[in-house]
Structure 1
């Protein structure tokens, strides 16, 4: 029904992305599906491609937009109809066949064959008395290739990090099923790297290259080239990988350990390729150099990262190039669109690669300590000072908060590299908003990101509202509810300018706002110093309580060692009221 409602069915269709509501629609409609092919930058469009197990056509659509001859095979009739509908205006390019893959006869050969999320099901739809369906399917794909042809294969790793840390198996929905060798039979079955390599070699493929998509091959935003695995530790490649990894079966998941810290140890031990969540494989039939020359493949990169959950103007690809001194190359995928939307502009440029570790990892490490909140406050204070030193606009707002130039909006803990000497290096400051922003909004953005992304890892016995209150009042003595509301409004403006509506988190932001407004924030603190004031203090307090109502406030009693019952009277009077108070003796 969705495909019948929209006019634009392209990979980056805004209409389709507006229909994303849940995991199923995200899986079938997200442009991230095609990143596993986009990363290779195929320049030869005039090749013939066979896609085996095309599903609902997310990859097929990408192929039809970028190549001249695509054959899509799908075993389910309804899915075959969906593919035809998704590619309806590409009839001259895409041909759809509905049949069991094993019933095909290789009458034609192809430059490239795709098995994307298919091999794991081979034991369920194999025909005859086939004792090794995965091998049979790979041999089948091999026979469909030209003498110098390429198989592109993607599959989950049964030993993937996310399965070790408590995510359910993607196909069966069971905990730890793959890592225990699939003890239940007649289920989809994924493979380890060793098992997959051996099957590909037995099927006849001469050369095999592994790539590691994260969080998985289904919706990859980061893809590592395992050819450069010897550089992973030197480049701290774990910085690129976002966790916690999603559980594709359930909205909630068990999380047994910090996956980012585990990733770091895997990289240092050169084991990442064994325990990656998914594999993306290029398997060559014939001469690899001839295949790469014919298809015009781009494989000379260490990692590629895609940011697509934003308006087309801002969608980008980031590439780490190893040649000479390593460097970062940035490019917009739609360079013909303006690099701005209203008051927001994106600034992309190529830069040297900064060696070090994301500041994020300091939070992960400190979360194991009892004084974690002290670390958060200290780090946010340091971030505040850095922002002022780099971006101070030379003025303050009406409440005295220093203003920062609009380029500061991207100065976040996940955009700061810490080198071995502890120095901070801001990176990837891509955003520039065309007005000055108050310093407290920048700190608010950092705290919100810290809590929203990593709350599962943090040693916090408080909610987000309390986190904001505690940290902000340490950094800004007069911080109040109005400042929080102002930060929320600024975040609303920012998200509306950058994000595609399908990915907006504003609903979550405003849930926070609703909760914040229920808290007792104090615009003023009334401090009373007492000494043997039992005869007057009760009347004083009652007068304050009865006549001070227009602003949120608190009362702080500082007693100078009274010898009468002044303190007891204060506690009794204040405990009967709704006014927040402290008594310091």
Structure 2
């Protein structure tokens, strides 16, 4: 971008005071030593010198983040604190304290006509290397105290205020530095200042700023142990007011201003309970690589408690001050509540999320790079969508509450995960991927749920039907194929366990080993977790992270699972050998459980077949019952007929007996008649007839 006339005049004036080092591209004062060699600077300079892609989101540079100092020096996350002011940066900008040029690169790409000053020669060389293909940027090795330009600037940025103020300690520290910076602004100019808050939660929990030994707050009450270069928020506001700045807006970056992930605006703080900023603060806490292992208290629950009590505005780790002399000139849109930046990934996947108060609260997202994602040949998809803001409790807070409770156990975690699995099953069915019950590790889940993890689930507090008591949000990553349920449980636990700063001591200390924790949870859920399955899940997650970030995992599965969870103590809770024994026992139990699961499945199949057979038998029994009823009815009729026949026979017998008696009487009488022989013959014949009628009896 061509410079304006004032900047061209300044170029002449600067050349009168500085000489251009042709090798490094840095403007040095004639008396300045051009070389110094600390290990970090040497590494960064070597990386930048060899790089072909120096852009803000360079994947080539990302591959060289082998430690925290290199990440601070090269990460695009360093520039996020300036993104809310992008509309003001297409102007003449002075950057005070350029360090290694990460923010300088962003300013140049945003369209600034940039002058970056850095007092440390080695750092100035690195900043010049980072911006060497940006014609609108110049790097000067000089201090704010000695820098004497003949023009003023539209914007002055001081992103490392405490470090820059250290050289002013004998003259009033921060206040003197601000006075000098204000003198370099045009009347309608903007001063952007980022500084630590000595009462920030992470500092109260014993954290220190990288490269500095002094605590920001010593807790002595006298202030003798505090870092003198760090002023309180009240001190800075008072100093800016005395310097004639009529409008000072204060925003809070999280986890801090050095590697900003989220930034809450003044309107965000004023929104109250309608906009829970503690979620942004808590979820960004473990994104801070400067946190020590030993903390006085767990950071994440502390942020949530601070949100409930409405004091986050006072205990943020850092503040960003936007100061202008015009009391009516604001920088932040009154409708913008907060911003969230996802910039530690491939350029085509970097995005900005804005929380905006408009017909309620809306969540708006946009990509920060014009490059296409290139997902055609990948098993994953990247989706950027707007959506309404959901009020409620973040589901990952329930996990934090469990592991922050002394004496927690695997049954408590299993109860949490059963709820999660129920949600997974319901969401998968809603995406036309029905799940057969009971579930097992290989149960297929809809690929669209790759990003369905507790930190992306909001639990609604208001009364509503069971199916509506939770809502998923920001499901930006999706798989094209179904995913095994075991992997989804693994991925969510990997995410949750990695973003808790301090665990309470569980009832079984073996759970503080990552491998033991995973094996115990899978066992409690009735899911197999063999060594092969563990490595398969790890490879799946590593492949996804490489796709999203462009970088391969630096930590092996063996090293990660062999490590312990942080407890706030520097001492290991149990012997690593004990962990190994517990892990082997858990694996053995998992194998036995898998075998038992197979046996139970076979028994289920057997009983299902028997049940089908019993159905056939039941039908046969019904048919037999019907036949029995018919035969019983027929038998009843036969019996009735026989009873009638028997009575008739008995009546006949009685009649025959009476006849015989009469015959006997007649016979006796006939014997006295004149022809006895004829009478006898007649009687005998009559008797035969009667006997024949009686069946020969």
TM-score for the superposition, normalised by structure 1:
0.81
1:201 aligns with 2:241: yes
Q: CA deviation at 1:508?
A: 4.7
Which residue does 2:610 correspond to in 1?
none
Which residue does 1:465 correspond to in 2?
515
Match of 1:333 among 368, 376, 381: 368
Of 373-382 and 235-244, more deviation after overlay is shown by 235-244
Q: CA deviation at 1:169?
A: 4.5
Which residue does 2:139 correspond to in 1?
96
Of 202-211 and 386-395, more deviation after overlay is shown by 386-395
Q: CA deviation at 1:100?
A: 2.7
Which residue does 2:379 correspond to in 1?
343
Match of 2:561 among 507, 512, 517: 512
From the superposition, tell whether residues 228 and 246 of structure 1 become closer, same or farther in structure 2 (CA, over 3 Å): closer
Match of 2:118 among 64, 74, 81: 74
Structure 2 CA distance, aligned partners of 1:442 and 1:247?
A: 25
Structure 2 CA distance, aligned partners of 1:133 and 1:524?
A: 64
- Unaligned stretches of 5+ residues in structure 1: 527-550, 555-585
Give the CA RMSD over aligned residues. 3.1
Q: CA deviation at 1:521?
A: 2.6
* Partner secondary structure for residue 229 of structure 2: coil
Of 317-326 and 113-122, more deviation after overlay is shown by 113-122
Q: CA deviation at 1:74?
A: 1.9
Deviation digits for residues 96-149 of structure 1, max 9, x if unmatched? 2222322233521111111110344424256xxx64232222122222111111
Q: How does 1:94-493 map to 2 (within 5 A)?
A: 94-105=137-148, 107-125=150-168, 131-170=171-210, 172-175=212-215, 177=217, 180=220, 183-184=224-225, 189-241=229-281, 242=283, 244-245=285-286, 252-286=292-326, 288-289=328-329, 292=331, 300-338=335-373, 340=375, 342-367=378-403, 368=405, 370-392=407-429, 393-394=433-434, 401-421=442-462, 423-454=469-500, 456-460=502-506, 461=509, 462=511, 463-476=513-526, 479-493=529-543
Q: Is the contact made by 1:404 and 1:437 (CA closer than 8 Å) also made in structure 2?
A: yes
- Unaligned stretches of 5+ residues in structure 2: 1-45, 464-468, 564-579, 598-697
Q: CA deviation at 1:400?
A: 7.8
From the superposition, tell whether residues 123 and 233 of structure 1 become closer, same or farther in structure 2 (CA, over 3 Å): same
* Partner secondary structure for residue 425 of structure 1: strand
Deviation digits for residues 207-260 of structure 1, max 9, x if unmatched? 1001101111011011111233122433221111225457766x7432122222
Q: Is the contact made by 1:169 and 1:177 (CA closer than 8 Å) also made in structure 2?
A: no
* Partner secondary structure for residue 210 of structure 1: strand
Q: CA deviation at 1:264?
A: 2.3
Structure 1 CA distance, aligned partners of 2:335 and 2:401?
A: 34
* Partner secondary structure for residue 103 of structure 1: coil
Q: CA deviation at 1:391?
A: 0.9
* Partner secondary structure for residue 329 of structure 1: strand
Q: Which structure has the larger Rg?
A: 2
Deviation digits for residues 434-466 of structure 1, max 9, x if unmatched? 111111111111222222222623543212222
Q: How does 1:28-107 map to 2 (within 5 A)?
A: 28-42=73-87, 45=90, 47-90=91-134, 92-105=135-148, 107=150
Structure 2 CA distance, aligned partners of 1:400 and 1:103?
A: 66
TM-score for the superposition, normalised by structure 2:
0.68
Aligned length: 517
Q: Is the contact made by 1:18 and 1:501 (CA closer than 8 Å) also made in structure 2?
A: yes
From the superposition, tell whether residues 94 and 278 of structure 1 become closer, same or farther in structure 2 (CA, over 3 Å): same
Structure 1 CA distance, aligned partners of 2:538 and 2:355?
A: 34
Q: Is the contact made by 2:286 and 2:501 (CA closer than 8 Å) also made in structure 1?
A: no
Q: Is the contact made by 2:214 and 2:225 (CA closer than 8 Å) also made in structure 1?
A: no
Deviation digits for residues 314-364 of structure 1, max 9, x if unmatched? 211111111221011112212431363611111221111000111121222
Q: Is the contact made by 2:286 and 2:499 (CA closer than 8 Å) also made in structure 1?
A: no
Which residue does 2:39 correspond to in 1?
none
Q: Is the contact made by 1:315 and 1:333 (CA closer than 8 Å) also made in structure 2?
A: yes
Structure 2 CA distance, aligned partners of 1:480 and 1:437?
A: 18
Q: Is the contact made by 1:154 and 1:279 (CA closer than 8 Å) also made in structure 2?
A: yes
Structure 1 CA distance, aligned partners of 2:252 and 2:127?
A: 27
* Partner secondary structure for residue 233 of structure 1: helix
Structure 2 CA distance, aligned partners of 1:469 and 1:81?
A: 50
From the superposition, tell whether residues 273 and 477 of structure 1 become closer, same or farther in structure 2 (CA, over 3 Å): closer
* Partner secondary structure for residue 187 of structure 2: strand
From the superposition, tell whether residues 525 and 170 of structure 1 become closer, same or farther in structure 2 (CA, over 3 Å): closer
From the superposition, tell whether residues 146 and 356 of structure 1 become closer, same or farther in structure 2 (CA, over 3 Å): same
Which residue does 2:571 correspond to in 1?
none
Q: Is the contact made by 2:189 and 2:324 (CA closer than 8 Å) also made in structure 1?
A: yes
Which residue does 1:8 correspond to in 2?
53
Q: Which protein is richer in strand relative to its size? A: 1
Of 390-399 and 488-497, more deviation after overlay is shown by 390-399
1:499 aligns with 2:549: yes
